[in-house]
Structure 1
Amino acid sequence: MLDAADGLIEYLGTSPSPFHACETSARMLEDAGFVRLLETDAWPSESGRYYLVRGGTLAAWSTEHADGATTPFRIVGAHTDSPNFRIKPQPDHRSIGYAQLGVEPYGGIILNSWLDRDLGLSGRVTVRENGSVAAKLLRVDEPLLRISRLAIHLDRSAAEGEVFNKQFQIAPHWALGDAPSFREFLGDRLGVAGADVLAWDVMTHDIQPAGRTGLNGEFVAGARMDNLATSYAGTRALIRAVEDGPADSTVQVLVLFDHEEIGSMTERGAFSVLLPTVLERIVSGLGGGRDDYHRALAGTVIASGDMAHATHPNYADRHEPDHRIALNGGPVLKVNTNGRYATDSVGAGSFALACEQAGVPMQSFVMRSDLPCGSTVGPMTSALTGATTVDFGAPTLSMHSVRELVGSDDQQMYADALTAFLAPA
C-alpha cells in the first residue's frame, strides 16, 4: 500500500466529486475483498465484508469479527462533499459575446479562491436509456471554465478586499461566440443525444493536481482535503483493521456521507435514516431483532472525522491561545461545550486510547470562546443512534479554499489512529 500522503494525493486525483469519491473507495474495498450490496436486495446472513453506495454516500462494514447479534459497532464517519459551484438546471447564458454558465455556490465556499482558476466539470448525469432513467458519471479534467477577476485598475477598492454578487459576478465563461447548450455538451461527452439528457448533479473542480509542497515536502496541497482526507484515511483504516482484527468482538463500519456542507438533511446525508437502517440490517443478518439492535448500539462508539483548523502563522490571534494545533502534530480531538461537536469525556477517552495504541501524538482543539464553531456529522449520528461519539480530525490550513493545505506526516498518523480505533487492542 502507498505511503498515506502519496495515497491521499492519488485518491484526490480520482475523486473530483462525491460520486467519484465513493467509486474510488469502492475500488479500494473491492480489492480488499468487500462485496457490493444493493439496498433493494436481501442481504446475506454469512459473515463477511460488504459495502453499499447511495449516490455520493458509501457505507462499508465487516462482520468477520462479530460474536452474535448484540456485538457492538465501531464506526468511523466522514463526508465526501466539499464547497464548490453547482451547475444550474438552465445554465446557458450570454453576456457581450461570452458564453457563460449559471452556477450556484455550494456550501461555505471562499469565493475569491476560485477566481482565475482553471476549472473542470464532474458529477452525475441522468439520461434516458431504453425508456428508463440511467445515471452516468461525468468527469472532464480540461480547463473548460474560468471566473475572471476584475482588473484592479477598474476597481481600486479590490486591494482592500473583494465583495461579490453571487448572481452576477461569479458566472464562469467557457466560450466566445457560438457554443452548444450545456445539455448538448453533456450528451456529446456521454455519447447520448442531448435530448436524452434528463438532469444533472454537475459541479466545478479545480484541475490542478494535488501534490507535496514545502522545502522538504512536508505539506500536501490540493482541493477537497475537507473532507476527502478523512474519507481516504477511513477507507484505508477499515481495510487494515479488518485484516488486523480487534481484541474483542466488534462490527467495524465506515460511512462516508454526502451533503455535510449543506446541513446533511437529505436522503443520503448524516441526518437521514441511512446509517441506522444499515446498522439494523446488519444486526438482522446476524440473526437478531429490534432488541438486539438497541443492545448493540448501547456498546457502540462512533468516531466522526472532519478536518481541524491548524493554527495559522499569520493569524495566530484568531485561535484559542492554549490549544495550538500544528501541522504534522498528529490527529486532533475536537471539543465544543455547546454540542457543535459530539465529543464527551467517554468518547475523548476512546480516541485518546486509539492514538496511544497507534503510537501517535494527539492534539486538542477548541474554538476561541468569542467565535462561532462549525459542526460535523458527529452530533447528528450521535443523536440518531444514541451512541457515544467523538469528533476528531487532521490539521488543515485554508479550510474551504479551492486548495487546502495539510501535513504530509499527519496522513499516516491519521490513518493509524483510525485503524486502532476500529480494531482496539
Structure 2
Amino acid sequence: MSPSTESSERDAPSPSRFDRRHTDGLIEFLAGSPTPYHAVAGAAQLLEKAGFRQVSETDSWDGSSGGKYVLRGGALVAWYVPEGAAPATPYRIVGAHTDSPNLRVKPLPDTGANGWRQIAVEVYGGTLLNTWLDRDLGIAGRLSLRDGSTRLVNVDRPLLRVPQLAIHLDRQVNDGLKLDRQRHMTPVWGLGTPHEGDLIRFLAEESDLPAEEITGWDLMAHSVEPPAYLGRDRELVAGPRMDNLLSVYAGAAALAAVAERGDLSHVPVLAAFDHEENGSQSDTGADGPLLGNVLERSVFARGGGYEDRARAYAGTICLSSDTGHAVHPNYAERHEPGHHPMPNGGPILKVNVNQRYATDGAGRAVFAAACERAGVPWQNFVSNNAMPCGTTIGPITAARHGISTVDIGVAILSMHSARELCGADDPYLLANCLTAFLED
C-alpha cells in the first residue's frame, strides 16, 4: 500500500529530527546487540549520553526531575520526569521488546556424535529454522558468577554451524524441507570427543574469567554476518533481530530527544521487554509486573497515592511498536488485498478486531496526529481473513494496566528469519513519529 493519504495529502513533510544517520546508528546497534542483555546495555548507554541515570529497584526513589532508567535482565524501563510534574501527571509510553527467535544453549551444552563436537541448543520462539542452516554463528549472552554478579560475553566470530544434509542424501528436499528441532538443529563446533564443561571453559577464557567462578549462563547463537544496506540504490537494510530491536533503538532515540524539552505535560516512557516471542510471561516480560511497578513507584515518589495513580493511568497512552509484514512480492495472495504496506512507506498502524492488536479508532487518531506533526507518511496493516494474525505486547499492556494502547511498527520481510529486511528510510521515519508522540 502507498503511504496513507490521511497524512501525506494533508501536509508536506516537515524537516526530520532523524534522518539516514539514524539508520546508520541502527545498523551499529543491531551488530552490537546479539542478545537482549546486550540490547538493553546499548540502549542504556544511549540514554546515559542524554543525561539519564540508572536507579536500582531495591533503593528508595525520589521524585526529582530528570531522566531515569531501570535495568532488569533483558528488559529496560526508562522515563523522564519534567520539572514540576504532579503525582497524577499521565504517561506517554513507547513499548517494544528486546528478544528475537533464535537458538539458545541448553543447561548441559556439550554433546556430539560420530567424531563431531556439538553444542546442544533449544529453539526459542517462532524461529524460521531453515534460515539457521549453513550460517556462520557466534555465541553471546550473560554469564552469572559465584559472587552474584553477571558478565556479558560475545564471541562474534564463526564458531558454530548447523549443517544441512546434502541434496544427494535427500533427493526430495526441494519438494519440501522438514526439520526435526531435536535431531537436525544441533550445531557443530569442532571435531573429537565432547567433554563436560568444554563450552563454559572456552567462554571463561574468552572473558578472562576463572571457569570455576561461572555458575550460571544464558547463552544463544547469533549470525556473525553484519547488517548492511542492500539494493541497487541502498534503499533497503538487511540484518538480524530487526524484530524488534528496530523499535527499541527508535524508542531510545526518541526518548533521549524529548528529554531536552522542558515543557512536557506528561512523563515520557520507554518500556523494552524481554520474552515477547514466547508469551511475555516472565518477570521481565510485558505480562509481568515490571512496567506497572515502575509507573506506580514514580507516582508515589512524587508524593501521590492510589487516586493519583488511577488518574495518571487513565490519561496514559502507549504506542506498542513492533515490526509487521510488508507485502511479499512472491506471495502477495497471503496478504489482505486492500492493505499492502511497502518498505519506506512510513510506519504502519496495525489493526485486528479480535484484539490481537490493541488499536481502536481513538488510537488511530493519536497515531495519525503524531505522524502529522512529524511530517511522516504512514500505512495501514490488517491480516488476510484466511490467515492467522500474530500479536504483540499491545493487548497485554492494555489488559494488564488498563492503559489505552495502539499497535504500530515498521513493515519488513522475512520476519523471524535469522536475517530480516526493511526499508532504509523506515527506521528514522518511525523514530520521528515516536518523538512527536512523546513530546505532544
- Which residues in structure 2 correspond to 1:202-213 (within 5 Å)? 202-213=219-230
Deviations 1:145-181 (A, max 9, x none): 0001101010011111211111111100001125661
Displacement of 1:190 in angstroms is 2.4
Deviations 1:104-135 (A, max 9, x none): 0000000000100000011111121xxx3221
AA matched with 2:79: W
Displacement of 1:46 in angstroms is 1.0
AA matched with 1:32: A
1:47 aligned residue (65, 76, 83): 65
CA distance in 2, matches of 1:308, 1:94: 38
1:241 aligned residue (255, 258, 261): 258
- Which residues in structure 2 correspond to 1:20-39 (within 5 Å)? 20-39=38-57
Contact 1:127 1:199 (8 Å CA) reproduced: yes
Q: Find the counterpart in structure 2 of residue 288 from structure 1.
A: 304
1:158 aligned residue (173, 190, 202): 173
Deviations 1:230-259 (A, max 9, x none): 00000011111222456x511000010000
CA distance in 1, matches of 2:175, 2:50: 52
RMSD: 1.2
The answer to whether residue 418 in structure 2 is matched with residue 410 in structure 1 is no
AA matched with 1:144: L
Look up the SS of the partner of 2:134 in the other structure.
Answer: coil
Q: Find the counterpart in structure 2 of residue 184 from structure 1.
A: 201
Contact 2:102 2:127 (8 Å CA) reproduced: yes
Displacement of 1:65 in angstroms is 5.3
CA distance in 1, matches of 2:382, 2:421: 20
Q: Find the counterpart in structure 1 of residue 402 from structure 2.
A: 386
The answer to whether residue 338 in structure 2 is matched with residue 322 in structure 1 is yes
Q: Find the counterpart in structure 2 of residue 201 from structure 1.
A: 218
Q: Find the counterpart in structure 2 of residue 103 from structure 1.
A: 121
Look up the SS of the partner of 1:168 in the other structure.
Answer: coil
Contact 2:413 2:420 (8 Å CA) reproduced: yes
User: What 5-or-longer segments of structure 2 have no aligned partner?
Assistant: 1-17
TM norm structure 1 = 0.97
AA matched with 2:258: A
Q: Find the counterpart in structure 2 of residue 338 from structure 1.
A: 354
How many residues get paired?
420
CA distance in 2, matches of 1:200, 1:359: 45
Look up the SS of the partner of 2:145 in the other structure.
Answer: strand
CA distance in 2, matches of 1:134, 1:192: 12
Contact 1:66 1:250 (8 Å CA) reproduced: no
Displacement of 1:278 in angstroms is 0.3
Q: Find the counterpart in structure 1 of residue 186 from structure 2.
A: 171
Displacement of 1:7 in angstroms is 1.1
AA matched with 1:422: L
Deviations 1:279-308 (A, max 9, x none): 001111211111101100000000000001
CA distance in 2, matches of 1:34, 1:89: 36
Question: Is the deviation greater in 132-141 or in 189-198?
Answer: 189-198
Identity of aligned residues (%): 50
TM norm structure 2 = 0.93
Displacement of 1:414 in angstroms is 0.6
CA distance in 2, matches of 1:69, 1:162: 57
1:15 aligned residue (33, 50, 68): 33
CA distance in 2, matches of 1:144, 1:168: 20
Contact 2:111 2:194 (8 Å CA) reproduced: no
Contact 2:144 2:215 (8 Å CA) reproduced: yes
CA distance in 2, matches of 1:244, 1:283: 21
AA matched with 1:414: L
CA distance in 2, matches of 1:161, 1:263: 29
Contact 1:347 1:389 (8 Å CA) reproduced: yes
Deviations 1:65-100 (A, max 9, x none): 553111110000000000000000011112111000
Look up the SS of the partner of 2:416 in the other structure.
Answer: coil
The answer to whether residue 384 in structure 2 is matched with residue 368 in structure 1 is yes
Look up the SS of the partner of 1:15 in the other structure.
Answer: coil
AA matched with 1:235: A
AA matched with 2:118: Q
Q: Which has the higher contact order (CA 8 A, sep 6+)?
A: 2
CA distance in 2, matches of 1:362, 1:209: 29
The answer to whether residue 83 in structure 2 is matched with residue 68 in structure 1 is no
Contact 1:120 1:204 (8 Å CA) reproduced: yes
Cα distance change, pair 8–178 in 1 and its aligned pair in 2 (3 A)? same
Q: Find the counterpart in structure 2 of residue 348 from structure 1.
A: 364
